[in-house]
Amino acid sequence: MSPWAERLRQRVNVPLLVRWQGGRALPLGQFDQPRVTMDVRDASGVAALLSPSLDHLGRAYVEGHVDIDGKAQDIIDVAWRLAEADAHQQAGGSGWLGRMAHRVADAVSHTRAQDSAAIQHHYDVSNAFYAEWLDPGMVYSCAYFEHGDETLAEAQQKKIDHILTKLRLQPGQTLLDIGCGWGALVLRAASQFGARCVGITLSQKQFELATERVRAAGLQDRVEIRLQDYRDVQGPFDRVSSVGMFEHVGLKNLSAYFRIIHDLLAPGGWALNHGITSTDPQNGATSYGGGDFIDRYVFPNGELAHIGTVLTTLQEGGLEAVDIENLRRHYARTLQCWSDAFEAKTERLKQLVDEKTWRIWRVYLVGCQWAFEHDEIALYQILCRRAGQTPDGLPWSRRWVYGAA
């Protein structure tokens, strides 16, 4: 047995069988049958195994230095256990250095051009690609499983209704949806709640399909889709929703982001921010290099703030938090639905995108599910309004959201 292989065996006990150049086989745990098999193709694959952070392992898989066979859920579980074992051996490693690098990168990111490029990198893969594994409404954000047994399509519609009900959206009111995706929320707000809506996105492909869907629904008189940066929108609006967008804003820009929402609101207006947060009070990336992988391949310049930071910057932006709801369990379930659909559509997806893109999204979806399940990241909905108002306009209870029961 080679020295590197022996060192690896001494550090981990996982249901993983490693094969070197299709020949020698190395079990890295006590098992009858491996749940995951990894074929190491070259020296870069070996290097990833010797320093198995999630970033190193993910890069090796995406770039073809290793091939991996097994269920997606098993693959990410094994990868996380390898990364955890390595991190413990490093006794703390370079966590502070990673945070410092994060701060330096933040200081030079999030211009309009950079934000537009980052959004297009993620969302402009192709509409057909997303349509294969999202629900029919193509809602690409955390669903709301009221009872836990809903289909993904049902849960996504419930999420939209949950948001619009929290906002107390009334017929004739104006609604701005920041980061409107493929238009599902504004379509629902106009058709079922009678609102007049503007949806904005930086994704060309989202803009095109959302515009087409508005036209097909005959809602051109009530819904306008714009290819526009949120910093360039002119108000006022009675209601503002932002779903799965503020992760792209940048930590240093959060106060200004919330100030813009404040300025866009009409007197007496309400806003709802729905977004992913870090569970690290210091706003650090997810553990073991997972955040580095996502930044490299999936969400360039994306940053997650702790809920404490979100609430502080929201107040700095002139807003008062009225209702806060943690939907972490709901996003874990949403991602499981997406990952299962992605796995089931493997052959079709490989016809739509190249092998590298398929590998990136495969590990990204199941990796995010794992992170939500293990309290690495969370999802909060924050209902807010302009600060400094009297409390007279606030409901006495949350029954307007959840009914009289």
Q: What residues are paired with 70 via a beta bridge?
A: 36
Distance CA 163, CA 142 (A): 12
Helix orientation angle between 254-264 and 307-316, rounded to the nearest 10 degrees: 50
DSSP string over 318-338: TEEEEEEEE-HHHHHHHHHHH
Q: Read off the tokens for 86.
A: 């390595």
Distance CA 58, CA 79 (A): 9
Largest CA distance in the chain: 74
Distance CA 67, CA 88 (A): 26
Residue 286 φ/ψ, nearest 5 degrees = -65, 160
Catalytic annotation, residues: 368
Q: Is 58 helix (H, G, I), strand (E, B) or coil?
A: helix
Q: Read off the tokens for 152.
A: 């993904």
Q: Which of 66, 67, 15 is nearest to 36 (CA)?
A: 15
Taken as a whole, the chain contains a residue count of 405
The answer to whether the beta carbons of residues 250 and 301 sit under 8 Å apart is yes
